[in-house]
Structure 1
Amino acid sequence: MRFAELDWQETPMGAISLRRRLDPALKVDVYEVKLDDDFLMSSLFTVAEIELARLGLAVTPGAELDVVVGGLGLGYTAGAALDDPRVRSLRVVDALGQVIEWHERGLLPLSERLTGDPRTLLQQGDFFALAASPEGFDNSRRFHAILLDVDHSPRHVLHPSHASFYTPDGLRRLAAHLHPGGVFALWSDDPPDDDFTAVLGEVFPTWQAHVVAFPNPLTGGESANTVYVAS
């Protein structure tokens, strides 16, 4: 079948849909997620999502790591985190129970791997509200790394309530949920943003903006995302 809508549901954020289509040029199945008319993610473009976990955990110290991923999506950041043998627990927070349900139903290529790994906990919740709360993600427990891929970028957020997270106060509240020396890493669809890196510098002693380039089969050229890593 060249096209199949695997799920469509109304949510408080709009209508979310998961579809699979056969790309005639690449001859591969492509999984896509839309929120109303906005494309959120595609399995054609997963390099930077994987690099979010790889780059973030590469500078995270420790022999055993407890990790939070904000945004489940197609599961590529979570899957890459599980590739690090030091990860002993992985808590993946997503606002939409429908997305978690897709993986529990095995609708996506990485679903079985994520749900079958005893280190993984899929948690429905508002990442930004949890990050801002004193209790954090698990009864004031601290984590070694927090990896975030929800908004398009710090400037282009999916909901206005997310904007306060990308301020010095918002990031300080997040940092309170990290162990000393812990790492915060963020995916962005935009080029490196000097204003946001200045905000990172107010909160974290060290930070770096990595430009992650990858081939774009739709244009025949190259595209790029940004991964910020702060510790």
Structure 2
Amino acid sequence: MGSVSGRFEEIDWRETPIGAISLRRRLDPVLKADVYEVKLGDEFLMSSLFTVAEIELARLGLAEQAGTELDVVVGGLGLGYTARTVLEDSRVRSLIAVEALDEVIEWHRRELLPLATSVTADPRSRLVHGDFFAMAGSDSGFDPEVPGRRFHAVLVDIDHTPHRVLHPSHAAFYRPEGLRRLADHLHPGGVFALWSDDPPDDDVTAALAEVFASAEAHVVTFHNPYTAGQSANTVYVARRDPAGHAPQ
């Protein structure tokens, strides 16, 4: 059972194979607003406190696509901010949100999260329980119903950064050979966009440029009421050559 007080509510708590996971809502005294948080043990996995960069991940990624009838993958459903922003784009035909934690998918389906209905009720949206990194490295890809299906954009917000991963098995994804496997799941001209909590990293941009025709790091700034200043995240955006050729 969750615990409830006037300022804090533990909405759900579960033991999982990777540890105890909990969904909490608290009234933030600085913002004077509800904040939703997900913790795995003592580590914060997700928070609705700062979501500007999660929203910009979708906007910047889709801005690189000039076409319509777009098929999109979001790696890491989380609290739904990236997925909801994707669905706000009228050019999007379909969205697959891949989430490793079945509990997170259940919280959306039970409408325990503020954006849940806008994601789950949209007929273009499908939530898939799976390991994004294993799917990216496989021939089958991200759609269990259509193995080998390609997409116009893949947007990822899972690890803290390419160098601070949630599990050691994720590290290979960010090296050129892992990125090439990911690129195989994109249409020619398709876009890969990645959120990171660190400033732009030349090594990350170089790895992307080795695989994609173009690669750019965008600094996304937002007001931080706790510091009375600006904070920042990074969104990397890389694009396959429209002709499908790999960089030389």
What is the TM-score normalised by the length of structure 2? 0.91
Using the alignment, how far apart are the partners of 1:149 and 1:11 within structure 2? 21
Count of matched residue positions in the alignment of Structure 1 and Structure 2: 231
Gaps of 5+ in 1: none
Match of 1:52 in 2: 57
1:11–1:96 Cα contact (<8 Å) kept: no
Match of 1:112 in 2: 117
What residue number does 1:165 align with? 173
1:176 aligns with 2:152: no
Q: Is the 8 A contact 2:20 2:40 kept in 1?
A: yes
Residue of structure 2 in register with 1:209 after alignment: 217
**2:15 aligned partner, one-letter code:** E
- Alignment-derived partner of residue 243 in structure 2: none
**1:87-102 paired onto structure 2 within 5 Å:** 87-102=92-107
Letter in structure 2 aligned against 1:62: G
Cα deviation for residue 95 of structure 1 reads 0.4
Of 11, 15, 21, 2:20 maps to 15
**Alpha-carbon distance between aligned partners in 2 of 1:49 and 1:228, rounded to the nearest angstrom:** 12
Q: What's the counterpart of residue 124 of structure 1?
A: 129
Distance 2:231 2:130 in 1: 31
- The one-letter amino acid of 2:82's match is T
Return the offset for 1:25.
2.7
Instruction: State the shift of 1:24 in Å.
Output: 2.0
Q: 1:149 — aligned with what?
A: 157
In structure 1, the partner of 2:71 is 66
What's the RMSD between the two structures over aligned residues? 0.8
8 Å contact kept, 1:33–1:41: yes
**One-letter amino acid of the counterpart of residue 158, structure 2:** V
1:223 to 216, 219, 231: 231
Match in the other structure for 2:244:
none
The Cα offsets for residues 22-61 of structure 1, whole Å up to 9 and x where unpaired, read as: 1123221111111111112211100000000000000023
Q: Deviations over 1:137-176 (max 9, x none)?
A: 1200000000000000000000000000001000000000
Is the CA contact (8 Å cut-off) linking 1:65 and 1:87 kept in structure 2?
yes
> Which consecutive segments of 4 or more residues in structure 1 shift more than 4 A?
none
CA distance in 1, matches of 2:18, 2:66: 37
In structure 2, what is the equivalent of residue 26 of structure 1? 31
Contact 2:30–2:226 (CA under 8 A) maintained in structure 1: no
- 1:180-199 superposed matches below 5 A: 180-199=188-207
Give the distance between the partners of 1:90 and 1:128, measured in 2 at CA.
Answer: 18
TM-score calculated relative to the size of structure 1: 0.98
Confirm or deny: 8 A CA contact 2:219 2:235 kept in the other structure: yes
Partners of 1:218 and 1:113 lie apart in 2 by 29
Task: Give me the whole-angstrom Cα distance separating, in 1, the residues matched to 2:92 and 2:161.
Answer: 26
**CA–CA distance in 2 between the matches of 1:26 and 1:192?**
28
Structure 2 CA distance for aligned equivalents of residues 129 and 61 of structure 1:
29
Deviation at 1:220, TM superposition (A): 2.1
Q: Residues of 1 paired with 2:166 and 2:77: CA distance?
A: 15
